[in-house]
Structure 1
Amino acid sequence: MQAHIRLATPEDAESISNVVISALRQSNANDYPPEVIAQVERSFSVQAVQLLMEQRRVYVASVDQCVVATASLDGGVVRSVFVEPRCQGEGIGKQLMSVICSAALNRDLDVLLVPSSITAEGFYAALGFQKVRDELHGAERTIIMRKLLLK
């Protein structure tokens, strides 16, 4: 499925919040307990997304002018990659990550890190990211992964 990818605007905050919460509840809930999902959800309220948009380069992917995925670049760290569950497996996440990698290269970065959920570890591995270590934040396990960018 081909998506249109662009920088997010403040008007996208609600759609981004909805995509993230939907993915958390339907996909990540298979790998994390309900209290972790609820905690992460609070980090992606509309207001929280608006604040993140001031700190990071946030991208959205849309299909038929509807936001179906998001990802952001925070320095050399990829953050908040989420795809609407009904669109997962359609290549949209891969398209977003291609844009993120290009943006990183344009900033003369040669390494990208991503704090991956258990759910997304295979996705990032398929894109060439390698596991560096696990981190625990309470009951939330995050896998730190890295990828060398080729110029």
Structure 2
Amino acid sequence: MQCQIRPAIPADAPAISAVIITTLRESNARDYSPQIIADVEQHFCPTSILSLMGKRQMYVAVIGQDVVGTASLDQAVVRSVFIRPDCQRLGIGQRLMARLKDAALAAHLDELHVPSSLTAESFYARLGFRKVRDEFHGEERTVIMHLRLDA
């Protein structure tokens, strides 16, 4: 199974939205209440994805014609890393993160930050990110993590 990482295009917005919502419902639901999942989903409809494309460097992982993952870089902040549940643990997230790291280095950044879900904390830790602190947005707990970049 060949996976391609490429910049997201506007036509990808519905598929990106579907990947994120599916992942929230299947993977993140183990760590967050149904209400928190529903609240977060509201930020990832196709129209919101299109808006985010104009503000972030957004990438997709594609197998065949199917978008199976996404990740974004908002200056030095990693955002919205989601891999479709049936494609998790295949190295796709690592490949997306490598693309974000390359983009950060090209922008002469010396560090990355990520507001991680509880679900993804161990993923980022395996990539070298270190926990800085917890943040709470109402009932939603987010783990703020940091990575120093080496050129």
TM (normalized to structure 2)?
Answer: 0.98
- Residue number in structure 2 paired with 1:17: 17
**Conserved? CA contact 1:83–1:93, under 8 Å:** yes
| Paired AA for residue 61 in structure 1 | A
Superposition deviation, residue 65 in structure 1: 2.0
**Conserved? CA contact 2:58–2:70, under 8 Å:** yes
Superposition deviation, residue 2 in structure 1: 4.3
**Conserved? CA contact 1:2–1:92, under 8 Å:** no
Structure 2: any 5+ residue segments left out of the alignment?
Answer: none
Query: For this pair of structures, how many residues does the alignment match?
Result: 151
**Conserved? CA contact 2:135–2:142, under 8 Å:** yes
CA distance in 2, matches of 1:47, 1:10: 10
How high is the sequence identity, in percent, across the aligned residues? Answer: 56
Q: Counterparts in 2 of 1:86-125, with a 5 A limit?
A: 86-125=86-125
* C-alpha distance after superposition, 1:88-137 (max 9, x if no partner): 00100000000000000000001000000000000000000000000000
- Residue number in structure 1 paired with 2:137: 137
| Paired AA for residue 54 in structure 1 | G
RMSD: 0.7
- Residue number in structure 1 paired with 2:26: 26
CA distance in 1, matches of 2:139, 2:118: 12
**Conserved? CA contact 2:2–2:64, under 8 Å:** no
CA distance in 1, matches of 2:6, 2:64: 14
For residue 90 of structure 2, give the secondary structure of its aligned residue in structure 1: coil
| Paired AA for residue 52 in structure 1 | L
When residues 105 and 63 of structure 1 are mapped into structure 2, their CA distance, relative to the original with a 3 A threshold, is same
| Paired AA for residue 108 in structure 2 | D
- Residue number in structure 1 paired with 2:82: 82
Superposition deviation, residue 140 in structure 1: 0.5
* C-alpha distance after superposition, 1:132-151 (max 9, x if no partner): 00000001100000000111
Deviant stretches of 4+, over 3 Å: none
- Residue number in structure 2 paired with 1:71: 71
CA distance in 2, matches of 1:88, 1:122: 13
CA distance in 1, matches of 2:48, 2:31: 24
TM (normalized to structure 1)?
Answer: 0.98
- Residue number in structure 2 paired with 1:52: 52
CA distance in 1, matches of 2:81, 2:145: 14
| Paired AA for residue 40 in structure 2 | V
